[in-house]
Amino acid sequence: MKKLLYLIAAASLILAPAVPCLSKDKGPNYEKRMAWWTKARFGMFIHWGIYSVPAHAEWYMNNGHVPRSKYELYAKEFDPTDFNADEWVRIAREAGMKYLVITSKHHDGFCMFNTKATKYNVVDATPWHKDPLKALSAACRKYGVRFCVYYSIMDWHSPDQGAYDPNPSHPTYNPTHFKPGKKQDYMKYMETQLKELITQYHPGVIWFDGGWMNGWTKRDGQEIYNYLRKLDPRIIVNNRAGVGDYETPEQEIPPNGIPGHDWETCMTINNDWGYDAADHDFKSPETLIRNLVDIVSKGGNYLLNVGPTSKGIIPKPEVDRLKAMGEWLRVNGNAIYGSGASPFAIKLPWGRCTSKRDKLFFEVFRWPTNGKLEVKGLGTLPTRAILLAGKKRLRVESNGPDMVINVPSEPPDRICSVIELDFNGEPVVYNPPQIESEYGIFMDSLFVTIKSPTPGVIVRYTTDGNPPNAECPEVTGQIPLNITTDIGAALFEGDKRVSGTSSRLFIKVNPLPPSTVSNLQSGLLYKYFTGVWDSIPDFSEMAPKLSGRISNVSLPPGNSKEHFGVEYTGYIKIPATGIYSFYLTSDDGSKLYVGDSLIVDNDYPHGATEKEGVVALGQGAHPVRVEYFQATGDDSLSLFIKGPALNKELIPDMWLLSPK
């Protein structure tokens, strides 16, 4: 039985990755230069630098508040006598990785290549006096792996950039800013080094990072992008300079991919990018293999990181996991390399699907115990179905609108078994209809639109959520609703249902009544806490370090940049009764409550992520509470609103109030 708790059902959470603009160069040249990258699907990320000496990961200079003069001393201890470029690249190749991206300069500013732009580099400043990028680029050519480089725009060591907090004994660098009159000097420094990277090592990708520093603009990114394109018309550039060729979600897999864009999820094997001697929280081979499959099934690439030690050794737990991935790919790689996203719009209950022109690959995570793998919405039967492991042929049969693949009782691979389906031409997939309305709740009446993703078919619907049959009404226009209704819809060819059923519940609600309050003034009250958390704690059980009033939902001044939390309380003054959407963006976790109801849940560690919640509110003042925590790395928090006669915008300061 469905409970009509509209505040729960209406809090529809949508992940919307916030990404910079991509290059407008999407013509034939774009497709040509991106061809190797989109075919590769799997690459190795390497974070390596002098931060491996203290072994507290790549942000140690910032997180440990280490003065520049003290941090520079780690270069004198960096002597990776066990470094072997051939071994590193063989590890990548045996893992099934097709490209390799290594840090040429991370945020700490230390250059891991031979550069004339500064003496603060691995050749001049360390007792090792060798150029690892030269050796790795040669090894990549030798073993058929594409060599690429990472480059940080933010530079904690640069004389042209100032620290966020320049306290000489306890500095905080992130985010830096350009010193007055020094921006063009740093741009020239960047151009010099980028030219060296391209002419000395011929990378396939320049992978920018650190573009959130204060003073860097999209115009700067466009200038650098154009400069690189002139140096090497074939170069691929990621989007983190503000302009680029592909998007880069970090430590997460977008639930629906990023349709219409090339993209790549970068992710760590454990928790840190650079070597951290205390970080033993390694992902399992099962997680890593299924991540790869999941990403490719959504049209993306997987850039998986390793963090070598100061001696130049990739830690054994990381190598072991990469070997497991390579073993799986040697059997099932045809489902990954050169494959595209699944043609199925709905999530498959047993796993994932990847595609090529006349092939589908079913990556099965949950093997059917009855020996029958059911596939809904596949409109053409394959000419052949085989298990990639052992090449065993499988029998396929129709079962009404569904297809059934008869499989062995035991899976050939406990992590992910792959079935290849071959077709005469491109397979036909009937995805369920799309049931659309701006909101899933309404107060008086609502019009719902049902669209077919496949032309030339009939759409039929029900109002009780059940699968429609040939006797159910056909969709001929918008469907009016004035009571709570559960709509189910499917595609038909004549009397035959050819798709699965989509359903959506639309709930008629009464708006939350406003509170009767007086003696309010502008701004919210906030309490500031410190602590190490991986989710929002119970702030009511804690004593705040600071408290005060703030004009809007933003991070208070003077925060520590790491390991802190904030609770905001007060009221929001709603100008008119209606349905309102709230958009909460944070890095890391956050939650929004209106009254006692959780409207947006954006908790847990992640990069800048926006989630939406919807609620009906009466005109007047409503209690609000926002909770936020920051772990490490970047931090951000903002709250937008959309409602009757109101486009999406930051909540106006004048709407936020709290007791005097």
Could you give the CA distance from residue 300 to residue 293 in angstroms, rounded to a whole number? 10
100-154 pLDDT, tens digit per residue, is 999 999 999 999 999 999 999 999 999 999 999 999 999 999 999 999 999 999 9
Average pLDDT over residues 325-344: 98
| The pLDDT value given to residue 27 | 62
pLDDT category, 557, cuts 50, 70, 90? confident
| pLDDT for position 450 | 97
Residues 397 and 448 in one domain: no
| Residue 562, pLDDT score | 82
Strands 597-602 and 578-587: unpaired
- List the CATH number of the domain containing 575: 2.60.120.1560
Place of tokens 């049959």: 469
Neighbours of 583 (CB within 10 A): 22
Q: Residue 22: inside a domain, yes or no?
A: no
* 37 occurs within a structural domain: no
β-pair partners for 343? none
254 and 299 inside one domain: yes
374 lies in the same domain as 279: no
Q: Is 334 helix (H, G, I), strand (E, B) or coil?
A: helix
- How far apart are alpha carbons 571 and 515 in whole angstroms? 9
What pLDDT shows up at residue 632?
Answer: 81
Tens-place pLDDT, residues 196-251: 999 999 999 999 999 999 999 999 999 999 999 999 999 999 999 999 999 999 99
7 falls within a domain:
no
Q: What are phi and psi of 165, to 5 degrees?
A: -130, 105
Instruction: Mark whether 495 and 358 lie in a shared domain.
Output: no
> Is the backbone peptide bond immediately before 587 cis, with ω within 30 degrees of 0?
no
What mean pLDDT comes out for the span 578-602? 96
pLDDT score for 158: 98
Cα 638 to Cα 261, 380, 557, distances in angstroms? 25, 48, 14
Which of 303, 333, 363 represents a domain boundary (last residue)? 333
- The span from the CA of 654 to the CA of 660, in Å, is 15
Number of structural domains found in the chain = 4
Q: Are residues 478 and 407 in the same domain?
A: no
Instruction: Give the 3-state secondary structure of residue 221.
Output: helix
What's the CA gap between 249 and 163, in Å, rounded?
26
Say if 17 falls within a structural domain: no
Tens of pLDDT, residue by residue over 493-503, are: 999 999 989 99
Which of the four pLDDT bands, split at 50, 70 and 90, describes residue 607? confident
Q: Which of 508, 541, 556 is the last residue of a domain?
A: 508
DSSP per position, 52-102: GTTTB-TTHHHHTT--HHHHTTHHHH---TT--HHHHHHHHHHTT--EEEE
Same domain for 107 and 247, yes or no, is yes
CA 642 to chain centre: 24
User: How far is it, in rounded angstroms, from Cα 379 to Cα 423?
Assistant: 11
- Among 152, 367, 335, 357, which Cα is nearest to 241's? 152
pLDDT computed for residue 383 by the predictor: 96
Query: Do both 53 and 184 map to the same domain?
Result: yes
Is residue 78 located within the same domain as residue 191? Answer: yes
CATH number at residue 117: 3.20.20.80
* pLDDT tens-place string over residues 395-444: 999 887 789 999 999 999 999 999 999 999 999 999 999 999 999 999 99
Question: Tens digit of pLDDT for each residue in 4-35?
Answer: 222 222 222 223 333 445 554 566 689 999 99
Mean pLDDT for the stretch of residues 171-181: 96
Q: What is the mean pLDDT of the chain?
A: 93
Q: Is residue 170 part of a domain?
A: yes
User: Which pLDDT score, from 0 to 100, does residue 277 have?
Assistant: 98
518 in any annotated domain: yes
| 448 and 537 housed in the same domain | no
Q: What is the CATH number of the domain that holds 358?
A: 2.60.40.1180
Instruction: Give the position of tokens 């999530």.
Output: 347
| Mean pLDDT to the nearest integer, 456-461 | 95
pLDDT at 163 > cutoff 70: yes
Show the domain range for 206: 43-333
Residues 486 and 561 in one domain: no
Burial class (CB in 10 A: 0-12, 13-18, 19+), 55: middle
Output the pLDDT for position 364.
98
Rounded to whole angstroms, the Cα distance separating 342 from 353 reads 5
Residue 441 lies in a domain: yes
The pLDDT tens digits of the residues spanning 503-537 come to 999 999 999 999 999 999 999 999 999 999 999 99
Express each pLDDT in 608-631 by its tens digit.
899 999 999 999 999 999 999 999
Residue 601 neighbours by CB distance under 10 Å? 17
Contact by Cβ (8 Å): 63, 172 = no
Could you give the CA distance from residue 235 to residue 226 in angstroms, rounded to a whole number? 11
Q: Which of 270, 299, 333 is the last residue of a domain?
A: 333
| 251 and 394 together in one domain | no
Cα distances (Å, whole numbers) of residue 441 to 53, 139, 445: 56, 59, 10
pLDDT at position 13, please? Answer: 26
Residue 124 sits in the same domain as residue 218: yes
Longest CA–CA separation in the chain, Å? 81
- Please state the pTM of the whole predicted model: 0.84
- Of 64, 197, 211, 193, the closest CA to residue 136 belongs to 197
32 inside domain:
no
Q: Is 498 exposed, middle or buried (0-12, 13-18, 19+ CB in 10 A)?
A: buried
* Stretch 259-263: mean pLDDT: 95
